Amino acid sequence: MAEDRNTESWVRPSLLLYDWDNTLVDAWAGITAAMNAAMTAFAMPLWTVEQTRERARISMRDSFPVIFGDRWHLARNIFHATMKEQHLDHVRPMPGALDALEASAPWPMGVVSNKSGRYLRAEIAHLGWSSYFGAVVGAGDAKADKPDPAPLFMALEQLGAAPAATVWYLGDTATDMQAARAAGITGVLVGDAAHDGGVERAAPDLQFADAYRLAAFLRNLHMRTRLLD
């Protein structure tokens, strides 16, 4: 089992921002189905769920022109039509995700994802998690998407906060950690990033083996903080 990697110099959080896919939820079956609908229309090889998990790290507006070329808008329309029809049928909480959110409740929270904002907000509502988040920013909501820091800055603005090391961004990929560094906040890896080159490539400030470990850490941190107050 992967072990947590927490340095001695970690900064106590004042605010928690979460990535969505593969951090809090597993929605890859729905994303893969929508991707393959576009691939079929372009007579391109289909992706497996694992391939989607490995390749879908940047937003559609950044990735589709590379994959589909000048006709990427058509591919986008096919993808959206399929996602709109079935994505809520596939979204499931990641193991330990609800525990992590409950343990995070003492802190202000937000979500910043490269999933289109319309699907992100619908999935949060579908799971009954809207009350956890004071800010929700998806792909297309800000002027640029991750790894650009713009969506993180937008979420912080919605929460009335400024970038600082006390802001934690919790995600599962090197892209998430890159975005956190660009924003001047603390990058926290949840999992081992095996689908994205591993922990060393991600280079997080902190790392937890899974959401259960994260939840235990946050509960203990909150308890210690209360005892000191």
131: amino acid identity, one letter: S
Name residues whose C-beta falls within 8 Å of residue 76's C-beta, 6 or more positions apart in sequence. 38, 60, 64
Closest alpha carbon to 16 in 228, 216, 118, 167 = 167
Class in CATH terms, 5-26+93-228: alpha beta
Spans in the chain with pLDDT lower than 50: 1-2
CA 103 to chain centre: 18
In this prediction the pTM is 0.85
**Helices and strands in the chain, H and E counts:** 10, 9
Span 106-158, pLDDT tens digits: 999 999 999 999 999 999 999 999 999 999 999 999 999 999 999 999 999 99
60-68 vs 72-86: helix crossing angle, rounded to 10: 120
